[in-house]
Chain A
Amino acid sequence: MTNDKLEQALKKGNRFFARKNFLLAKKEFEIALQLRPGEELRKKIKVCAAENARNARQETIKRGRKLEKKGKDKEALHCFEQAFKTEKEEWLEKKISVLREKLSLSKLSSSMNDAENSGDLEVRIAAYDKLLEAGQGGSVDKNELQEKKAVCLVKLGRYAEATALYETCPPGKDAARYFCGYAYAKTGRFARALAHWEEIKTRPADLLPQYERLLPFAQRELAASRVQTGYAAPYRCACRLAAVDSSARLKAYQNHFKGKYIEELWANGQYTEVLELLRPHPDKINLGMLGLFARVYLKAAENDSRHLEQAITFGLTALYNDAILSSLSIHKLSEKNLSAGIETIRKALLDSLEAMVNRYERAGGLSKRQLAYWRLEKRLIHTLSTLENNTEGQAIFPCTPLFASKFGLSEQIFSLLSEGGDDKDKEDFLEVSAYFSSAGESLVLMEVGEEEKALRMLSDNVQKSPSDNGLESELSAYCRQRVYLRYGIKKALQGEPGIKKYFLDTLPLLKRYPHYVDELTELSFSDLEDEACMGLAEVMDTLSGHIEDPKFREAAAHILGIKAVILRNQGLNRAAFEKQLQRALSIYPDSEMARTALERSQTARSFDEINKAFKQQNLGKAVDIIARNRDPELIDYFFETVERWFDQSETWDKKDRLAALHDFHRHCCYVNKKHPLTEEIADEIKLLEDK
């Protein structure tokens, strides 16, 4: 019976053990142990007990995790602590540590909330400190706590501590920025205070009175500082203020800080940023501004060709201004040397500007328009500087036409030129005056290759302000003729028909200033495309009826000759070709080109005729052609042909040959009695007759 019970207990125990149900297995093994104590059963019971303890621990950890998930940190901690007692695992230790810290922070948080609700700033600071200390592991928003603490410090008047805190933890929210700025203001760092305040996005209007309060302090602070930086924020704050309050005082502050900020940017090499501050350009400009604009644009253009046009306009105007150059540190030079000194400085600075333009040009970074502007502005301001005028009372003289147009000075400069001295007959005077006249812009457009726009502008100008005034009217005509001439040449070189009218309108200009005639002459002798030759020939043909200059007429005949050759190559018949050449020769009879072409054409024609005569074996007609022409090539050709026939006649019978030879000899005698062939034929006739 006992054995049966023992057997049954062991059997059950082993089955449970195999199924890993250690709880029931242990129970059966204990029954069996009571029935028959033994070491083996004890070992099994021990294994079961250990396995049961392990399972129980796993269950505890599982429960702890579930509780943690539910946010029951305290209960979860208890579970993990229980589990840790049985086995000291590293992860469990960390888990317990984190949970304990969390519970502690939670407690601190709760005490912080209490402190915040209490309204006592010192208590709040202490609570923040505790929390910051406890949160070294990074489980708290340190920045937020520091910002809160800093606000308390500011409110307590502990500004130095607050700014020290802000140094380590820059404000991230508008409220924090405000208190940070406030703390800096209260510690005498006004510019820095404004720098924080100007970043505040919300409620900027509330801040404006405080900006205003701080501006004078910031100004004093920065003026006393050895390092001239920090003007950006005061300038921007002053701008905001000036935008809502147009008082002279605020405007003055804005201007003051703008100037200082420009100096700061200049010192840092931030020229493009300076340019931003100089925009929009004022309507009126004084010498000081001119000097400033010129220097900034020149510097900016060194690295960015987009600023080159402005650098040219402002730079040239400033460099030609004696007042600007004499304000440099050359006042120690004697009066006598001063003038020469200014010229030397001007030349050095102009060379430097030219070198910059050339550098861009070499690098291909210069548009045709920019290059044209440079050449135009440089030429005109130089010419203007050489004209004799009374410039008293005119602060900015000379200046470039674009500069004058930009700042409304064109009329003044034009008046000065109109009153001018002895230069009125020179084209330089007329040209420079024209650029400053109401039609001047058309010349600028023409120079930069926008002739069509220039034409449109001229026609608009005539409609808007038809002028009867002497000089104005003369300049208007001058501009029109210049534009017509340039447009006409451009179109002629493109081979466009129907452009004669532009040149006919230009005749007064061509007659008054021969260099334009020379230009056309030179162009006609240059190496041109067929299309350009055709266009130019038409123009030269028209103008030759009005211009007597022999060189010009020779050029006209030359280009007409070339046109005739081009047309002949394109299939023009010989008669029309020769007519064209004769027209060229009627313009200039000594035209080598036209005459040679005509002679060659006539010779070719004679060859054709003589060939026809030879084909008909009509030596009499051939001789007539030669007699008309007397061309050596033609004579040679005649004798070559007769010689061939003479050779062929050797096979003929005597009678026929003798008759033919008499005929050959007679015609050869007409052409050249002393030609060797004539004599050879005579000898042969004699020989035949003697036989």
Chain B
Amino acid sequence: MIDPFAILAVDRAASKLEIMKQVTMAMREGKHNAKQIAEAQKTLFDPLARAVAEFACFIDPRALSEGSENIQNEAAEPAEPQKSLELEILTCFDE
């Protein structure tokens, strides 16, 4: 099965407008042939075909990330200033 999301470089929640924009972009870039682009667009415009493609093309490994919500929240916060990384040079590697 072709990956229409990858051909048009859209994520699984892409709207019709976004898809149309990406179709134009994909045509310009010429990475894929017109037939593939048209097929991808057709799949994504059909809710059921899109769902089938979505099942086959996306995974969600969050089920494995038990307890990592806090860590992910931390990542969403603004990065700490660079100076906050205090790291001593380990002398054991000094030749």
Contacts and interface: CB of A to CB of B under 8 A. Distances in A.
A179 interface: yes
Interface in B43-94: 47-52, 54-56, 58-68, 70-72, 74-76, 79-80, 82, 85-87, 89-90, 92-94
B17 interface: no
Interface string B21-46: 00000000000000000000000000
Contact of B65 (A151, A256, A299, A345): A256
A300 to B, nearest CB: 12
A16 interface: no
A255 B66 CA distance: 6
A137 interface: no
Interface in A179-201: 179, 182, 185-186, 188
Contacts of B76: 223
A288 B51 CA distance: 17
A590 B92 CA distance: 98
A36 interface: no
A541 B55 CA distance: 55
Given A206-B90, A255-B68, A292-B63, A332 B47 contact: yes
A220 B89 contact: no
B66 to A, nearest CB: 6
A256 B71 contact: yes
Given A185-B85, A286-B63, A333-B47, A328 B56 contact: no
A266 B68 CA distance: 20
B59 A292 contact: yes
A299 B92 CA distance: 46
Chain A interface, >50% SS class: helix
Interface in A358-409: none
Given A207-B90, A217-B85, A262 B64 contact: yes
A641 interface: no
A295 B55 CA distance: 7
Contacts of B56: 295, 298-299, 349, 352
A556 interface: no
Nearest to A324: B55
Interface residues of B, number: 41
Contacts of B52: 345, 348-349, 352
Contacts of B94: 175
Interface residues of A, number: 59
B26 to A, nearest CB: 18
A260 B64 CA distance: 10
A155 interface: yes
A206 B56 CA distance: 44
A296 interface: yes
Contact of B12 (A154, A252, A329): A329
A248 B62 CA distance: 17
Nearest to B94: A175
Nearest to B6: A267
A418 to B, nearest CB: 30
Contacts of B85: 185-186, 213-214, 217
A329 B13 contact: yes
A345 B48 contact: yes
Interface string A26-59: 0000000000000000000000000000000000
A289 interface: yes
A330 interface: yes
Contacts of A214: 85, 87
Interface in A282-310: 286-289, 291-292, 295-296, 298-299
Nearest to B76: A223
Interface string A208-250: 0010011011011101100000000000000000000000110
Interface of B: 1, 12-13, 47-52, 54-56, 58-68, 70-72, 74-76, 79-80, 82, 85-87, 89-90, 92-95
Given A253-B71, A289-B63, 18 more contacts: A175-B94, A178-B90, A178-B93, A203-B93, A206-B92, A213-B86, A223-B76, A252-B67, A287-B63, A288-B62, A325-B55, A328-B51, A341-B51, A344-B48, A348-B52, A349-B56, A352-B1, A352-B56
28 contacts: A154-B89, A175-B93, A175-B94, A178-B90, A179-B89, A179-B93, A182-B89, A186-B87, A206-B90, A223-B72, A223-B75, A249-B71, A252-B68, A255-B64, A255-B65, A259-B68, A260-B61, A262-B64, A286-B63, A288-B62, A288-B64, A291-B59, A292-B59, A325-B55, A328-B55, A329-B47, A329-B54, A348-B52
Q: Which 8 A-B pairs have the closest CB atoms?
A: A288-B63, A256-B68, A259-B61, A328-B51, A223-B75, A178-B93, A252-B67, A259-B65
